[in-house]
């Protein structure tokens, strides 16, 4: 069986963002997302982290209440996600740095 060590990191470049995937406790994946500006809209964050295929899909999952923002379900599509915030979606956790 192939097991990845907990310290191994996968880097992925997208436009002006850096995405760092880390395996954290019990194979839960945490994505560290570095934003260069002040904020990123929630829909764009979901697309940039490859958690959804399109912006339309991102809008649907947000309005259906599948996304948690800082531990609470949030229905705002244009939510400004800033450094220090966390977003949870389908078992994935995104920490914005």
Is the pLDDT at 16 greater than 80? The verdict is: no
Kindly report the pTM of this predicted structure.
0.71
Token reading at 50:
């490859």
Place of tokens 């948690």: 68
Domain boundaries, given as residue ranges, for the chain:
9-96
Token reading at 95:
């920490």
- Residue pLDDT, tens place only, 39-83: 999 999 999 999 999 999 999 999 999 999 999 999 998 999 999
Pick from 68, 61, 75: nearest CA to 91: 68
Token reading at 28:
């839960």
Burial class of residue 61 (count of CB atoms within 10 Å of its CB; 0-12, 13-18, 19+) = middle
Place of tokens 């097991």: 3
pLDDT of residue 5: 46
Q: Which CATH number fits domain 9-96: 3.30.420.40, 3.10.150.10, 3.30.1360.120, 3.10.290.10?
A: 3.10.290.10
């Amino acid at each position: 069986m192939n097991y990845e060590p907990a310290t191994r990191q996968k880097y992925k470049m997208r436009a002006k963002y850096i995405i760092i995937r880390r395996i954290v406790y019990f194979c839960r994946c945490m994505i560290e997302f570095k934003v260069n500006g002040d904020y990123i809209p929630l829909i764009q964050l979901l697309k940039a982290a490859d958690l959804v295929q399109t912006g339309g899909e991102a809008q649907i999952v947000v309005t259906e209440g599948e996304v948690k923002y800082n531990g609470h379900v949030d229905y705002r599509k244009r939510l400004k996600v800033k450094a220090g915030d966390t977003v949870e979606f389908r078992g994935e956790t995104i920490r914005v740095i």
